Amino acid sequence: MTINVNNPEADALTRKFAKLAGVGITEAIVIAMREAIERRRGAETPLQTAARLRAKYGVTLSERASEPLPKAVFDEMWGDPGCS
């Protein structure tokens, strides 16, 4: 199977990584892709991060916290000229 990379930056980064890792270009790509996939699989979602931080700092949310904010709040936040 062939991969053709026509991006100078991708080529340069791959060669730099291969040199740092002491491997060939193909092995550098395999290592980099495995590491990238593993990082993404292990990454927290924003909801998981929020839950972890709430637990760490003992923050609890009331039922009201799950209610959407009124449109006026967003208008004010974004500086909508129609807001009061």
Model-wide pTM > 0.85: no
- Using one digit for the tens of pLDDT, what is the confidence trace for 22-72? 999 999 999 999 999 999 998 999 999 999 999 999 999 888 888 888 998
The answer to whether residue 27 is domain-embedded is: yes
Q: Which domain holds residue 13?
A: 8-42
Which residue shows structure tokens 């991708």?
10
The answer to whether residue 25 is domain-embedded is: yes
Q: How far apart are CA 10 and CA 35, in angstroms?
A: 16
Cβ neighbourhood burial of 31 (10 Å; 0-12, 13-18, 19+): middle
> 29 and 15: one domain?
yes
Specify the number of domains making up the chain.
2
> 29 and 50: one domain?
no
The answer to whether residue 24 is domain-embedded is: yes
The answer to whether residue 3 is domain-embedded is: no
